[in-house]
């Protein structure tokens, strides 16, 4: 082997490799998933580059992955015809530059998280050392020479021009010299099982070299002939040939080993398949594969848009919210995987969904968008607006169905959701799946009510609140109205700091005694959200902590005369209180909406409520 230029792994990388080996030894097989995923990324990259320059593929026209094991030598070779790496890429990507993911991986380790999805930290390559004690990476990038990277994971690696010259054409060949404890990975049946599992959603063909024992008829070499044949003896050879050409060739059966390349995956993209043929498990696995999330999704919608523009999509609601979802709210929009004519344009394409839907993950595949433009110009493309509008409506449709039926999987016909919405019977009891969604991502819907005027009516129906009658159950506005008194003109709410605070509020008492329900708005954004909804199905939304409240069951005349009586009776008290609190309060008034508390402080009809003022002081969403 040629003497290479020697490099030291960056200290973090060395440490990382030790940690990987020590923490993931129980799930060694993940190395294969990481290598397949890297190969697939490299293939995506060259396919993307070929958009601008079709000749990029000439060095190796087929985009594919090949896996070859050698049981005798205990090696495993994984070859792709992807973009490849030049010398600098190898030095930088495979060892010296610790990526930001390194630190995250270390943190996750300290927190005791599941590390087996090592790929999400961007350090998947190093999982090779779970099974190999030596690794050789040969790679050829267009316009560069073929180089070899090699390391035994002992803190150093070498990089050298490949003495074999250009054997790859284009792409990367990774040879693993398997450890004693990992010899099973040189067995084709073991590999086949793993490749099938990990390549389910890889859109390039993956071939595995398989060997078959086959029975063949071979000519029997005559005993006498064999016994007299000696090397270099021309006479004997003549005699041997005579036997071969004779009419009466004797044959015998013999087992021989043949090798063939067998395609292991079917690369029909899951979103292109009819949804009736896709199991929930497949949907869920696909989500985990492309998001690298370890938790199963809560729900999804799979559809084909037709009309002005055609595209296919699967949109998912993740199982859990990322912990920084609302902290990064103003800097992060939804990021979908966008394919144009089967080419992955971006795995984080923005602007396809409004900001408040930034928790949604998914794939979008369209043949109608132009391929020959840069990502920046694509972002300006007018068809994207059409797409975004449709995607937004589909997310809303998924949520609506989740609430009414707990639906997950959806038929992929381009159905008219608008019509269906009308015909759907109103349901006031939520499916438990929607409750789960609400408790994870409810704040996003509230932000949507504030930000999305166009879809506000649909979003309002997705809102849920606690209330004085429902206790800890969530209610929708529709649910509230289904329990409302027929004379009730308003939907009442009270905003406060906590459930405890609103439940004990003296304002609520009178409502309870009249059997009226009060919505409790205890999330800081609730009140701001509800202010965007002046009315719902003809009923005003009314804060019970504001001046001028009417119940709707009062007989105007008695109320007036009662008011007049109390006003006169308490006139001097009112005057006294006014001078007592001068400058601190605006008005002292006789009220008929409190039950046992002697007095309450209310806010002016047109001012902010006390709760709103509290929020504005803290300036949080
Ligand atoms: P990630 O895939 O998240 O970037 P990895 O540790 O798996 O992290 O890979 C490190 C880098 O090595 C990749 O980003 C890529 O630049 C390079 N690389 C790995 N495998 C290949 C390959 N088969 N072809 C081209 N480049 C590769
Ligand atoms: Mg990777």
501-526 pLDDT tens trace: 888 888 888 888 888 999 999 998 99
pLDDT (0 to 100) of residue 251: 86
Secondary-structure breakdown of the chain: helix, strand, coil percentages, each rounded to the nearest 5? 40, 20, 40
Q: Ligand 2 is a single-atom ion; what residues have CB below 5 A from it?
A: 38, 124
- In tens, the pLDDT along 123-157 reads 789 899 999 999 999 999 999 999 999 999 888 99
Q: Does the beta carbon of 64 sit less than 6 angstroms from any atom of ligand 1? A: no
Q: Look at ligand 1, atom 27, and give the residue with the nearest C-alpha.
A: 38
What is the best residue among 49, 93, 95 to mutate for testing ligand 1's pocket, by most ligand atoms within 8 Å of CB?
Answer: 93
The answer for residues whose C-beta is within 8 angstroms of residue 525's C-beta and 6 or more apart is: 443, 446, 447, 450, 621
What is the best residue among 99, 120, 122, 125 to mutate for testing ligand 1's pocket, by most ligand atoms within 8 Å of CB?
Answer: 125
Q: Look at ligand 1, atom 13, and give the residue with the nearest C-alpha.
A: 93
pLDDT (0 to 100) of residue 422: 43
Nearest in space to 429 (alpha carbons), one of 452, 454, 404, 466? 404
Percent of the chain with pLDDT over 70: 84
Q: Look at ligand 1, atom 3, and give the residue with the nearest C-alpha.
A: 122
What would the two tokens of residue 218 be? Answer: 């071979």
C-alpha of residue 117 to centroid of ligand 2, in Å: 10
Listed in sequence order, the DSSP H helices in 71-187 are 87-91, 100-110
Instruction: Band the pLDDT of 242: cuts 50, 70, 90.
Output: very low
pLDDT (0 to 100) of residue 418: 45
- In tens, the pLDDT along 175-202 reads 999 999 999 999 999 999 999 888 878 8
The reply to whether the predicted model has a pTM over 0.90 is no
Q: CA 91, CA 527: separation in Å to the nearest integer?
A: 55
Max mean pLDDT among 213-222, 240-249, 310-319 falls in 310-319
What was the ipTM of the complex prediction? 0.99
Order of all β-strands in the sheet with 465-467: 471-475, 465-467, 518-521, 490-495, 539-543, 535-536
222 is in an annotated binding site: no
38 is in an annotated binding site: yes
pLDDT at 88 over 90: yes
Q: CA 477, CA 541: separation in Å to the nearest integer?
A: 10
C-alpha distance from residue 49 to each of 61, 82, 89, 146, 342 (Å): 13, 11, 17, 19, 13
From the CA of 78, give the closest atom in ligand 1: 23
- In tens, the pLDDT along 355-364 reads 999 999 999 9
Nearest in space to 464 (alpha carbons), one of 488, 439, 496, 485? 439
Q: What is the dihedral of CA 447, 438, 537, 513, to 10 degrees?
A: -110
357 is in an annotated binding site: no
CB-CB contact of 387 with 364 (8 Å): yes
Q: What interhelical angle do 188-199 and 30-52 show, nearest 10?
A: 50
Q: Does the beta carbon of 81 sit less than 6 angstroms from any atom of ligand 1? A: no
CB-CB contact of 296 with 284 (8 Å): yes
């Amino acid at each position: 082997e040629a003497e290479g230029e020697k490099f030291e792994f960056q200290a973090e990388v060395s440490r990382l490799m030790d940690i990987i080996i020590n923490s993931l030894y129980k799930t060694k097989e993940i190395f294969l998933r990481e290598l397949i995923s890297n190969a697939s990324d490299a293939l995506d990259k060259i396919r993307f580059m070929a958009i601008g320059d079709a000749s990029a593929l000439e060095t190796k026209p087929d985009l594919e992955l090949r896996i070859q094991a050698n049981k005798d030598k205990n090696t495993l070779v994984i070859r792709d015809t992807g973009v490849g790496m030049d010398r600098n890429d190898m030095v930088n990507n495979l060892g010296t530059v610790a990526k930001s993911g390194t630190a995250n991986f270390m943190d996750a380790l300290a927190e005791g998280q599941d590390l087996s999805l090592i790929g999400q930290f961007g350090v998947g390559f190093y999982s090779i050392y779970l099974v190999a004690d030596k690794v050789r990476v040969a790679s050829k990038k267009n316009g560069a020479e073929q180089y070899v990277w090699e390391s035994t994971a002992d803190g150093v690696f070498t990089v050298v021009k490949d003495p074999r010259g250009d054997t790859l054409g284009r792409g990367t060949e990774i040879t693993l010299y398997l450890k004693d404890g990992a010899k099973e990975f040189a067995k084709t049946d073991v590999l086949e099982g793993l490749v099938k599992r990990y390549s389910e959603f890889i859109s390039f063909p993956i071939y595995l070299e398989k060997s078959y024992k086959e029975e063949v008829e071979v000519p029997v070499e005559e005993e006498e002939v064999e016994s007299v044949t000696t090397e270099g003896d021309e006479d004997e050879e003549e005699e041997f040939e005579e036997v071969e050409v004779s009419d009466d060739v004797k044959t015998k059966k013999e087992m021989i080993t043949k090798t063939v390349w067998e395609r292991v995956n079917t690369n029909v993209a899951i979103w292109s398949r009819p949804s009736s043929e896709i199991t929930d498990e497949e949907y869920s696995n696909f989500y985990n594969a492309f998001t690298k999330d370890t938790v199963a999704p809560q729900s999804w919608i799979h559809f084909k848009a037709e009309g002005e523009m055609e595209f296919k999509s699967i949109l998912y609601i993740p199982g859990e919210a990322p912990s920084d979802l609302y902290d990064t709210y103003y800097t992060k929009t939804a990021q979908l995987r966008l394919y144009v004519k089967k080419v992955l344009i971006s795995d984080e394409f923005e602007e396809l969904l409004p900001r408040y839907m930034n928790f949604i993950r998914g794939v979008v595949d369209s043949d109608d968008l132009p391929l020959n433009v840069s990502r920046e110009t694509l972002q300006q493309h007018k068809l994207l607006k059409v797409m975004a509008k449709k995607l937004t409506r589909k997310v809303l449709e998924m949520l609506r169905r989740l609430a009414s039926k707990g639906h997950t999987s959806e038929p992929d016909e381009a159905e008219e959701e608008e019509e269906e919405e009308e015909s759907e019977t109103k349901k006031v009891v939520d499916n438990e799946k929607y409750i789960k969604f609400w408790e994870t991502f409810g704040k996003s819907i509230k932000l949507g009510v504030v930000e999305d005027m166009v879809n506000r009516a649909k979003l309002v129906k997705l809102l849920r609140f606690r209330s004085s009658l429902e206790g800890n159950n969530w209610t929708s506005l529709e649910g509230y109205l289904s329990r409302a008194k027929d004379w009730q003109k308003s939907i009442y709410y009270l905003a406060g700091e906590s459930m405890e605070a609103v439940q004990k509020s003296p304002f609520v008492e009178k409502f309870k005694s009249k059997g009226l329900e009060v919505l409790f708005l205890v999330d800081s954004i609730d009140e701001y959200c509800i202010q965007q909804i002046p009315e719902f199905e003809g009923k005003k939304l009314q804060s019970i902590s504001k001046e001028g409240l009417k119940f709707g069951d009062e007989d105007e005349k008695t109320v007036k005369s009662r008011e007049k009586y109390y006003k006169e009776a308490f006139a001097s008290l009112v005057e006294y209180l006014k001078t007592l609190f001068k400058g601190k309060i605006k008005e002292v008034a006789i009220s008929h909406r409190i039950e046992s508390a002697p007095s309450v402080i209310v806010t002016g009809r047109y001012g902010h409520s006390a709760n709103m003022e509290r929020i504005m002081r803290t300036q949080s969403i």
